[in-house]
Amino acid sequence: MTTSIRVGRPRDAGVSSAVAGAVISLLREVGLSGLTMDAVASRAGVSKASIYRRWASKEDLLVDVIANLASENPVPDTGHLRDDLVELLHRMQAFLSDIEAGQIFPRMAAEVHAASELGRRYAEQVILPRRAMLAGMLSEARARGAIRDDLDIDVAVDVLTGPVILRMLLGRLAPSDSEWAPRLVDGLLQGWAPDR
């Protein structure tokens, strides 16, 4: 509407990015529940007043920062389904264990489950696109005959990604070595192979 000409001192763009960076690093260190606005301000080298000039509440800030957390995620596509899947699971594990340190994902999972605004946006911007990409990858493989044509794609997506989430949640209780992903994929592909 009003492309009003701003008067007065302009906002320092560095403040916003410093705050976002502080939120992410604190999220890793102290988790969602341990994150305070005072800590964010201090870590960002910024006053709380400046934060509240940009975001109406802590909730708003978190939604904004976390939703923009992981937008880029290239899909491996060598044309060789087995290797693509192993690579995809490895990337997923790396992604999860990167933010794992700060326990972002488990807490986001709880938010998703609780259907909070934060959870809704996280699912919408992070989880669902990834599921859709994997589904597309499998559909393509099925179309070119690499896997049996009666394979249920939805369930296949669950079977591939569910175990990764599970192992991540269990963490130290069920450590997974580098061979875990290929063992999983190879095991599944045995059942997914087209009838000869």
Partner DNA sequence: TCGATACGATACGGTACAGTTTCGTAAGTA
Partner DNA sequence: TACTTACGAAACTGTACCGTATCGTATCGA
Which residue ranges make up the site for DNA (CB under 7 A)?
5-12, 15, 34-38, 41, 45-50, 52-54, 57-59
H or E element that contains 112:
helix 104-114
Instruction: Check binding of 133 to a second copy (CB under 8 A).
Output: no
Q: Which two tokens stand for residue 155?
A: 């369930």
Q: Which is nearer to a second copy, 40 or 192 (CB)?
A: 192
Instruction: Check binding of 30 to a second copy (CB under 8 A).
Output: no
Q: Which does 88 bind (CB under 5 to 8 A by kind): DNA, a second copy, none?
A: none
Instruction: Check binding of 135 to a second copy (CB under 8 A).
Output: no
Within positions 56 to 95, which residues make up the interface with a second copy, using CB under 8 A?
none
Position of tokens 């000409």?
A: 5
Do 37 and 23 contact (CB within 8 A), yes or no?
no
**How many residues sit in the footprint of a second copy (CB under 8 A)?**
46
Q: Which is nearer to a second copy, 42 or 161 (CB)?
A: 161
Q: Which is nearer to DNA, 40 or 81 (CB)?
A: 40
Instruction: Check binding of 136 to a second copy (CB under 8 A).
Output: no
Do 19 and 51 contact (CB within 8 A), yes or no?
yes
CB of 7 to a second copy, least distance (A): 43
Q: Which is nearer to a second copy, 50 or 116 (CB)?
A: 116
Give the residue, chosen from 112, 134, 137, 147, that forms a contact with a second copy under the rule CB under 8 A. 112
Which is nearest to 103 in space by CA: 176, 39, 35, 21? 35
Give the residue, chosen from 22, 107, 134, 142, that forms a contact with a second copy under the rule CB under 8 A. 107
Q: Report the SS3 class of residue 36.
A: coil
Q: Report the SS3 class of residue 87.
A: helix
Q: Which two tokens stand for residue 135?
A: 């589904």
Q: 153-174 burial by CB neighbour count: b if 16+ within 10 A, else e?
A: beebbeebbebbeebbeeeeee
